[in-house]
Structure 1
């Protein structure tokens, strides 16, 4: 039996090199995404050494895109999407127009025909959904207003690119390409057909999918099989994405997003998101590796000035345009900068559009290489831009917090002062953290909350709990919480890797502090204990312990009910008189 197959070789080489390069980037205080992309460059055909299958890698990366968009949909209800339509629809349309015009201007300077410039500009106008989602997830911004606007904006961009990909072959002849000979009437027919398919898909998902998908998942959960539940989640995500592309001509990503969004209405959406997370993360890495495989480093020497122009359009032109658009809608600078930073990169749709442009004779291979080089560099640069945004946001929030405390505005309570010693430091004020914080506060225990979400922090301050806005993994944030003199640290966030980093830093500042953390599995418990936690609480284990402790009490309660004792029909032994 042969032990070397293209699929296995591609997966092994991609995962191993991505891990090594990602860890190296992390050690150098860079985003792991930079390492993943560089791993793809090593595996690509333009560098000597290892070579992965260039056909399989992009297809495998599509699975990561599907699962990632499915996970976003699980946290994004239809109401969230409709709530940002007033800014997402016109904003995305205006931003696409600005970037396309800038791309056409650069093409004109290089002597390209107008059709080539149009396709080139469109390829530079659409951002990568995967890159954006990873950045928002790392900063816990998905469920914030900024995150909803950014996601809604990209959904509109994706829809626009779906129309472009369908219409471009039909009008290629009119734009000077080699294929396509559609007349004006045929173009309008194609446009109407595409809009009809997209509308039909949305209607099917909202009318049929909203009933069938949650029902199917609830029936599967009722079987009691964890394997079947996980399989059902993957089948729904991949199946709906594939069906949307095959039957309605909609992109895989958009189909998966709507599948997750309709499943959001089910009470099992949180478990579905948790079970799909490992698959989502693993295959999302393959997306960045496949991007790196497309990069020809020689373009840096062959076309330095055109490449500089491409980068200026992506990193500056799109960002400035998006910032101006968002501010014109009356949004805050924080929202405007988040949107502009999110759009300062290009990705998957740009690759597809560039490849189609070459096939239709509208783009040269050098133009495609410029788009790919712009994508690689902008994807690597985007984490640095978000880091700068994080620093600016922290500084602005610190200034705003100081101003709020000085003004003591009644609508935003500053909360009590941070205790100086012998207090409990609580990390996170979500579903678990809020219960812990309110219980400790009601019992009169001094508590300091560290929370990166402004809305959660304001809820805690309104309840009378002292709070600090910031990332608990940052040393200065823990210092502000007086961690060195605290008695206990309770880590209530669900991210084990971030929790481990927080625990290590707390131990360095206060070796004698008592540390308790939250976990979801035996592996997470072991990881947290290795990183310095004194105890790690696993929810399932505590539920089981509570049920066992309650057995005697509930049996006695049933035995003492008069109707049960008289009728004796419940199967529970009746009490002796």
Structure 2
């Protein structure tokens, strides 16, 4: 029997047990990563039974971190962030500050030093992108304004954490830790910080000037060869090479290098293919990362420090949630948005583990702090599913108590009412547009060019502000709320145009509109063929489905071209 089989044992046992516990978690409607963490606990030195090589697991975890960060970079959309920047940017930064301060306060009460308390607080402040995207996807909220705000909020959190990962090694000695191997630890802190920021700036400039052009160009050349495995290898080589190169040449963390590798690959015309081809590999290494994180966890802390674990869970699931909800309501978004964003952030995940591992290697936190962070992640991710299920009942409970709803929601909000400049004459026989996406924008432009009056009801407050700056009548809010339709003067409207949305919401809007204006006509955009058929069966109004309309237009164009050719053909 060969003796150097530690890696094979780790992979065989790790994947086998991760599969079993991941399956159990999925059957219980929990994120599978809970199962992967438990698999790591089962094969860790802290529990009886099979013990895998921890040093090897940590090296594989490094690869896992790189591929996780590469995935974050590939999903990073500046456009998505810009759409909700006015709430996501200040909201995320303030929420990180609140959660970090809560973590610092509690841990310093336990007698920890400031450096440990800071890393601990930061680890509790950042939610898991993996968990959030799955939760929003399961609830069908990814494309909703609430989903976009939550994802934008997390993108800002991810950027802040990337910055923390860059700055922490440079400030470790000042905070009471030690420098990483190969880094001088006795320099002036401001010199160290300055050098670090210069290196990071140099790396970012290099990636934006050279990498942004070079990587997509290489991908294009390889894609022309038609070899699937070469294309996959190109993407993986880009991720790993840029990650290592950023560390070796610029002294920047491999995590940051992988993040920017993902961003430059996203710039390529083949980004969707790159994401599809590398997904299995990224998921495999992500699983290894979560297994290795589980191997570091000592379950005995649950028995030894139950009060500390409860405090950690309270910060993650109560402190962060209340802070996020308060900030969303402060920005005058509705209760539903506040509850969705609050639930989205009531967990911690991959960045918390990466930060905890870095803090441990810098001597800023001990294994107890790391175990508390891991316990907080395990419990918060498990309970997060139930928190999402409680959004609707909580919203109904608040709205049944109208005094509480009025207190919390949109009090005196100028965007929830049409501005005074909109005359009463304008609000007769107008077209009311629900949603101002790509379709709504095109329709509005044509109608206004023809002198037809339009009022827009849109959830995204930033869009409403921009519309009003252009002199377009717009009101902010969910059109399922009767007050929003009343503000759009639906009672005097000629036509209601509904953008693609959940079929139950369409019925709510139609029912309210008919009650307020029995003569109104409806024009509805359906998301799918099946949905279009259901709405047509209900005989609500005219229904349009994108692919169907495209096929009709293309068919008409072909028939017209054939007729023209037929008329132009010389007669014999």
The match for 1:98 is 98
Match of 1:266 among 244, 263, 268: 268
- Counterpart in the other structure of 2:35: 35
Q: Distance in 2 between matches of 1:62 and 1:364?
A: 19
1:220 maps to 222
Which residue is 1:369 aligned to?
371
* Residue equivalent to 2:11: 11
CA distance in 1, matches of 2:26, 2:314: 27
Q: Distance in 1 between matches of 2:305 and 2:51?
A: 25
Residue in structure 1 matched with residue 498 of structure 2 by the alignment: 412
Matched residue of 2:543: which SS? coil
Determine the C-alpha separation between the residues in 2 that align with 1:99 and 1:52.
35
Compute the displacement of 1:248 (Å): 3.7
**Structure 1 residue aligned with 2:204, among 198, 202, 214?**
202
Query: In 1, Cα distance between the equivalents of 2:281 and 2:393?
Result: 31
In the TM superposition, 1:400-479 aligns within 5 A as: 401=480, 410-412=496-498, 414=506, 446=533, 464-465=543-544
1:70 aligns to what?
70
Mapping of 1:142-221 within 5 angstroms? Answer: 145-146=148-149, 148-173=151-176, 186-221=188-223
Compute the displacement of 1:280 (Å).
2.3
Deviations 1:139-183 (A, max 9, x none): 5666662354134222222233224422332303499xxx99757
Secondary structure, counterpart of 1:122 in structure 2: helix
Closer/same/farther in 2, CA of residues 390 and 112 from structure 1, 3 Å limit: same
Aligned counterparts, 1:269-288, within 5 A = 269-288=271-290
Query: Is the Cα–Cα contact under 8 Å of residues 246 and 253 in structure 2 kept in the other structure?
Result: yes
- Give 3-state SS (helix, strand or coil) of 2:127's partner: coil
Q: Which moved more, 1:130-139 or 1:150-159?
A: 130-139
Query: What secondary structure sits across from 2:328 in the alignment?
Result: helix
Structure 2: distance between partners of 1:157 and 1:437: 42
Displacement of 1:258 in angstroms is 2.8
Taking a change above 3 Å as real, the CA distance of residues 60 and 173 of structure 1, as seen in their structure-2 partners, is closer
The whole-number CA distance in structure 1 between the counterparts of 2:108 and 2:355 is 19
CA distance in 1, matches of 2:347, 2:42: 22
- Partners of 2:285 and 2:260 lie apart in 1 by 20
**Residue 357 of structure 1: how far off its partner (Å):** 4.5
Q: Secondary structure at the match of 2:172?
A: helix
Considering only aligned residues, what root-mean-square deviation do their CA atoms show, in Å?
A: 4.2
Q: Deviations over 1:247-299 (max 9, x none)?
A: 34444444333333333333212211111122222222222222221221111
- Deviates further, 138-147 or 94-103: 138-147
Structure 2 match to 1:321: 323
Whole-Å separation in 2 of the counterparts to 1:290 and 1:174: 24
TM-score by length of 2: 0.65
- TM-score of the two chains, using structure 1 as the length reference: 0.64
Distance 2:396 2:211 in 1: 41
Q: Structure 2: any 5+ residue segments left out of the alignment?
A: 400-458, 460-477, 500-505, 512-524, 549-572
Distance in 2 (alpha carbons) for counterparts of 1:49 and 1:6: 16
Q: How many pairs are equivalent?
A: 437
**Deviations for 1:330-364, whole angstroms, at most 9, x for unmatched residues?**
44444444443333233344345445555555444
Q: How does 1:107-122 map to 2 (within 5 A)?
A: 107-122=107-122
1:126 and 1:298 mapped to 2: Cα distance?
25
CA distance in 1, matches of 2:91, 2:251: 25
Note the alpha carbon deviations across 1:168-202, whole angstroms, 9 max, x for none: 32303499xxx99757xx22222222222232232
Residues 22 and 34, structure 2, Cα contact 8 Å, conserved in 1: yes
How far does the alpha carbon of each residue in 1:499-552 deviate from its partner, in whole angstroms, 9 at most, with x for none?
Answer: xxxxxxxxxxxxxxxxxxxxxxxxxxxxxxxxxxxxxxxxxxxxxxxxxxxxxx
Written as runs of structure 1 = structure 2, the 5 A alignment for 1:116-135 is 116-135=116-135
Q: Is the 8 A contact 1:163 1:191 kept in 2?
A: no
Distance in 2 of aligned mates of 1:57 and 1:105: 33
Equivalent residues of 2:166, 2:253 under 8 A apart:
no
Hey, what's the Cα distance between the residues in 1 that align with 2:198 and 2:82? 20
**Equivalent position SS for 1:170:** coil
> What residue in structure 2 maps to residue 567 of structure 1?
none
State the match for 2:434 in structure 1: none
User: What's the CA shift for 1:316?
Assistant: 1.3
Equivalent runs, 1:376-391 vs 2, <5 Å: 376-389=378-391
| Distance change in 2, residues 1:339/1:290 (3 Å) | farther
Change (3 A) 1:375 1:255: same
The verdict on how the C-alpha distance between 1:8 and 1:243 changes in structure 2, with shifts beyond 3 A counting, is: same
Contact 1:173 1:181 in 2 (8 A): no
| Change in CA separation of 1:187 and 1:10 when aligned onto 2, cut-off 3 Å | same
Question: How far off is 1:42 after superposition?
Answer: 0.7
The equivalent of 2:436 in structure 1 is none
Asked whether the 8 Å contact 1:126–1:157 carries over to 2, the reply is no
Give, in whole Å, the separation in 1 of the partners of 2:79 and 2:372: 39
* Distance of 2:174 and 2:277 partners within structure 1: 44
**Alignment deviations for residues 484-507 of structure 1 (CA, whole Å, 9 cap, x no partner):** xxxxxx9x9xxxxxxxxxxxxxxx
SS in 2 for 1:464: strand
Q: Which residue of 2 aligns with 1:475?
A: none
For structure 1, the 5+ residue unaligned runs are 419-427, 450-460, 468-489, 493-577
Deviation (angstroms), 1:222:
0.5
